[in-house]
Each structure stands twice: as structure tokens, then as C-alpha cells.
């Protein structure tokens, strides 16, 4: 940007107003930063004047119209912030005041500088992010769930931003200010406005009231006219981007919820997932009855969809096999289902044979060839669990489509589990057999050592007799038998032959 010194000055005395004004600021002990800003603002005004055809820059030639048009230029053309515009006007006011003191105006009539633009009130200064985290840590150390929940609720949903305050302060009356702000935070938090609004926790009302600098008691007067509350709620919905669910929304939510029901059958989890979905989509949450009906419908449709996906497996032969699982066998006095459910109770060859018999039983029905990958693994586990836990009579009374889906999932899952069980049984049985053989080997070795020790002692007795020179040859046998009986000697010789 050009400086005033670069703008031709055509006054009589060729006065360099910029340098003189800078000298004045320096003598007034203004900081270098302040002087730089003043001169920069002055340069900008001079360049703008030149662009308007004013070749000469001098204080006495500046008119109120020039100043008004310059303010309009800063505001409308450049669209500067009010704070920046007011600073530039303040710099011009200081320059003109200095020029008046120096006597550059006839009769000391200074041109009127336009009034500053009213700056928008900023939001109250609340805790920054680091301070909020520090406070949360302090509260969490107290380990009081209620305090933790209130702190996070206030910070995340009821702290008003500058943009929020701009919208809120368009209301008139403290009760409308507070009620509007509370509706804003409530919709942001719950995705709907409860029927008992504004009966909110006192801590929430006080927190919002402090931000607006109004009395918390003002909320008592809010909502006397239902039309006011309704119109404000509509404005808040538009501001936050919320909308009421349409027929298409319900259809899309039903399809989405069916996919979730094919993964998880727990009603509470589906309910929570549905609420989260509405919150993300910024759809105002319908009543609980409607949500409960949607969850129930999705669960029922999940059973229908499951049966449809498993239909290729359900041949006539497969149906007969599944029905036979629930029939009591006269010889064994139990159902095949109960037999398949019962796991091994010990690691033994008999248990291995029993597990192998189960696998043969399932292989005969081609269970390994059943394609159950059409179902989500979670859905498959859920159905198999029902097959394991449900009483046989209850399964018999279950509608055929559901019963067959449960038994197909059970057979597929139990086949894999029996294979794992068989491998474990084999490994554990082999380990037990090895442990027993090692124990028998150790016992055998101890017995051999004891027998060998006895024979060494026997040989020692016989050797002493044989080596005794005082014993005559004809007396040798008798002397040996005196030390060792014939039976002991015969037994030792027999054991050595083994």
C-alpha cells in the first residue's frame, strides 16, 4: 500500500503531514506498534482519496462526506469487521485532532468523523477446552456419576457459542431469552423437546441463566403462550438443522433397523441404535411408542428375512431331519437334540468315540455343506444359542419357520464345536495316557532296581561262602543253603531269565 509520502502534496508550504504526525506520536510516547498502526490506517485513507480523484492530501481538504463514504467503503465494499473499522476511524480522528491543534483548519472547524459501528456483544468468557478437561478430571476423581453426567451435559450441550447468543438475544424479555436458550440446548441434547419442558434440572437452568445474565426464576413465565413456544421451537429446528421425520424417513429407518436386527436381536440395543441414528441424521425423535413399535417390527421382519435366506437349505429331507431332532428315541429315552447338546464330561477314549458318532450323525445329513454364510455371524450365534438353551417342548411349539431357522443354525454351530471338542479330547486323552505311561515306567524301573539290589545282596552271601577257604568243597552246598534258602535262589534265577 502506498504511503502518504508517496501521494503528491500540493499545499502552499509543501507540508509533509505524515512525517509531522509521526513525530507528534513519537513525542507523545506512543509505542512503535501504535505508531505503525496509525500511519498504516492513514496511508489507507490517503490511497482511497486518491482513487476518488483527490490528488492532494491535506487535513483542511477532508470533508465529512469523504469520511462517511470511507466508512461505507470499509463496511460494505471491504466488509471489514466492526472492530477493524472502528480502529481506522479512531486513527483518522486522532490525525484530525492533531491537525486542529496545529492550526490547519480555519476557525478550528474539524470535519465530523462518523460514529463507530456498534460491535456485537461477544459471548461471556467461559472455560476453554483445557480448563474444561481439568474440571472434568477433578469431578471424575470424585467418582460420583451424577456430578460427572451434569458437568459433561453442561459443557457439551448447554454452553452457548457466539452464534447461539446472536440468535437467542433476538428475543425480548428475560423469560423468552432463557426459555429459547434452554430449548436450544435441550433439542441439541435429546433431539426432541420433552412434554414436561421447561421442568429441567436446576443446575442446567442456572448455568444457562448465568450466560445470559438473567434470573433463573424467569423461566417460570416462559411458555404462557403456546404459539410463542411453538414458533420458537420451529426457529431452533431450522437453526440446528433438525426436521420432523417424513414417510420416506420412516421407510429408510425401517430398512436400516432391519439390517441391525439381523446383527443384534436385543431390543434395548436396537432402541439405542435407533435413537443414535435419529440424532446423527438430525431427525426429531418421535414418541417412545412409535420407536418401540419400529423395534418390534424390525425384530419380526428379521425372523422372516432369516427364514427366507435359509430357504435353499430347507429341503424336504432336511425338514424331516430337523423334526426328528425333537422326537424322543425309545431305546435311549432322549431326543437327538439333547444328545448333541450334551458335551463330554471326561477326557477318555469313550468320549472321543461319542464325539465321532455325533460328527458321523451330522455328516450323514450333509450339515457341513449347508451355506449359512448368508446370515450375519452374530445372528447365527444368537439362533444357535436359542437351540442350545430352549426346552424341546418350547421348540416344538415354535412356528415352523422360526423353529427350522433355529435348528439349522444350531446344527451348523454345534458341528464346528464338536470338531473342536474332539480335537481337545484327543489331545487331552493323549496327554493323560502319556502321563500314566510315564508313571508306570517309573514304577517299573523302581521295581527293577529293587530286584537287582536283592540279587546283588544274594550274590554277596553266596560269594562269601565260596571264597571262605576254611569251608571244604564237600561242605560248600550245605553252607550256601545255610545262608540262602533253595527257594530264594530258585526265585532269583527265574527272575534273571525274564
Rg (CA), the chain: 49
CA–CA dist 277, 165 (Å, integer) = 28
CA–CA dist 300, 399 (Å, integer) = 12
Neighbours of 102 (CB within 10 A): 14
CA–CA dist 186, 198 (Å, integer) = 9
**How many residues in total does the chain contain?**
498
Q: What is the pLDDT along the chain (498 residues), one digit of tens a residue?
A: 434 444 333 344 435 888 888 888 888 888 888 888 888 988 888 888 888 877 677 888 888 888 888 888 888 888 888 888 888 888 888 888 888 888 777 666 777 888 887 765 544 445 555 665 666 666 666 666 766 666 666 767 888 888 988 898 888 888 888 989 998 888 888 888 887 777 788 888 888 888 888 888 888 888 767 777 788 888 989 999 999 999 999 999 999 999 999 998 899 999 999 999 998 999 999 988 999 999 999 999 999 999 999 999 999 999 999 999 999 988 888 899 999 999 888 888 899 999 999 999 999 999 999 999 999 999 999 999 999 999 999 999 999 999 999 999 999 999 999 999 999 989 988 888 888 888 888 888 888 888 888 888 888 888 888 888 888 878 888 888 888 888 888 887 887 776
Q: Which residues, in sequence order, are CB contacts of 392 under 8 Å at separation 6+? A: 326, 335, 337, 338
CA–CA dist 167, 182 (Å, integer) = 13
Q: In the 3-class helix/strand/coil scheme, how is 297-337 assigned residue by residue?
A: HHHHHHHHHHHHHHHHHCCHHHHHHHHHCCCCECCCCECHH
Torsion of CA 381, 382, 388, 391, to 10 degrees: -170
Between the alpha carbon of residue 78 and those of residues 53, 84, 88, 406, the distances in Å are 19, 11, 13, 71
Cross-strand bridge partners of residue 283: 243
**How far is Cα of residue 382 from the mean position of the Cα atoms in its chain?**
24
pTM of the model: 0.57
SS3 283: strand
Q: Which residue has the cell 484327543?
A: 426
Fold topology of 4-108 = DNA polymerase; domain 1 (1.10.150)
The dihedral built from the CA positions of residue 243, 248, 252 and 257, taken in this order, carries a sign that is positive
DSSP single-letter state for residue 160: -
Would you state the cell numbers that stand for residue 395, as one nine-digit string? Answer: 421348540
Amino acid at each position: 500500500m502506498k504511503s502518504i509520502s508517496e501521494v503528491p502534496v500540493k499545499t502552499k508550504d509543501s507540508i509533509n503531514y505524515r512525517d509531522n504526525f509521526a513525530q507528534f506520536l513519537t513525542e507523545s510516547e506512543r509505542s512503535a506498534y501504535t505508531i505503525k498502526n496509525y500511519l498504516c490506517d492513514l496511508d489507507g485513507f490517503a490511497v482511497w482519496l486518491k482513487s476518488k480523484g483527490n490528488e492532494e492530501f491535506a487535513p483542511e481538504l477532508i470533508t465529512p462526506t469523504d469520511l462517511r463514504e470511507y466508512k461505507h467503503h470499509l463496511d460494505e465494499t471491504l466488509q471489514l469487521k466492526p472492530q477493524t473499522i472502528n480502529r481506522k476511524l479512531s486513527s483518522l480522528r486522532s490525525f484530525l485532532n492533531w491537525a486542529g491543534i496545529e492550526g490547519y483548519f480555519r476557525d478550528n472547524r474539524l470535519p465530523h468523523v462518523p460514529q463507530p459501528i456498534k460491535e456485537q456483544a461477544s459471548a461471556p468468557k467461559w472455560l476453554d477446552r483445557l480448563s474444561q478437561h481439568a474440571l472434568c478430571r477433578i469431578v471424575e476423581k470424585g467418582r460420583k456419576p451424577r456430578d460427572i453426567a451434569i458437568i459433561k451435559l453442561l459443557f457439551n450441550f448447554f454452553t452457548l457459542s457466539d452464534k447461539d447468543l446472536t440468535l437467542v438475544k433476538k428475543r425480548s424479555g428475560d423469560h423468552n431469552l432463557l426459555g429459547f436458550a434452554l430449548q436450544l440446548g435441550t433439542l441439541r441434547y435429546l433431539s426432541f423437546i420433552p412434554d414436561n419442558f421447561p421442568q429441567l434440572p436446576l443446575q442446567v437452568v442456572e448455568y444457562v441463566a448465568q450466560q445470559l445474565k438473567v434470573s433463573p426464576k424467569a423461566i417460570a413465565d416462559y411458555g404462557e403462550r403456546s404459539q410463542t413456544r411453538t414458533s420458537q421451537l420451529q426457529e431452533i429446528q431450522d437453526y440446528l438443522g433438525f426436521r420432523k421425520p417424513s414417510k420416506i424417513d420412516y421407510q429408510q429407518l425401517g430398512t436400516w433397523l432391519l439390517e441391525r436386527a439381523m446383527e443384534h436381536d436385543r431390543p434395548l440395543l436396537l432402541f439405542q441404535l435407533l435413537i443414535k441414528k435419529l440424532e446423527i441424521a438430525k431427525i426429531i425423535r418421535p414418541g417412545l411408542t412409535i420407536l418401540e413399535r419400529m423395534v418390534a417390527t424390525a425384530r419380526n421382519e428379521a425372523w422372516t428375512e432369516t427364514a427366507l435366506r435359509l430357504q435353499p437349505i430347507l429341503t424336504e429331507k432336511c425338514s424331516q431331519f430337523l423334526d426328528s431332532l425333537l422326537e424322543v428315541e425309545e431305546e435311549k429315552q432322549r431326543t437327538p437334540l439333547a444328545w448333541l447338546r450334551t458335551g463330554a464330561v471326561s477326557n477318555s477314549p469313550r468320549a472321543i468315540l461319542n464325539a465321532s458318532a455325533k460328527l458321523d450323525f451330522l455328516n450323514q445329513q450333509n450339515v457341513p455343506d449347508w451355506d449359512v454364510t448368508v446370515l450375519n455371524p452374530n445372528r447365527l450365534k444368537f439362533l444357535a444359542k436359542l437351540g442350545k438353551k430352549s426346552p424341546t417342548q418350547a421348540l416344538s411349539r415354535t412356528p415352523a419357520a422360526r423353529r427350522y431357522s433355529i435348528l439349522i443354525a444350531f446344527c451348523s454351530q454345534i458341528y464346528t464345536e464338536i470338531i473342536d471338542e474332539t480335537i481337545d479330547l484327543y489331545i487331552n486323552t493323549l496327554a493323560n495316557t502319556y502321563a500314566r505311561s510315564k508313571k508306570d515306567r517309573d514304577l517299573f524301573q523302581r521295581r527293577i532296581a529293587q530286584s537287582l539290589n536283592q540279587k546283588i545282596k544274594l550274590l554277596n552271601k553266596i560269594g562269601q561262602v565260596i571264597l571262605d577257604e576254611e569251608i571244604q568243597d564237600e561242605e560248600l552246598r550245605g553252607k550256601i543253603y545255610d545262608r540262602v534258602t533253595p527257594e530264594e535262589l530258585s526265585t532269583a534265577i527265574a527272575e534273571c531269565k525274564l
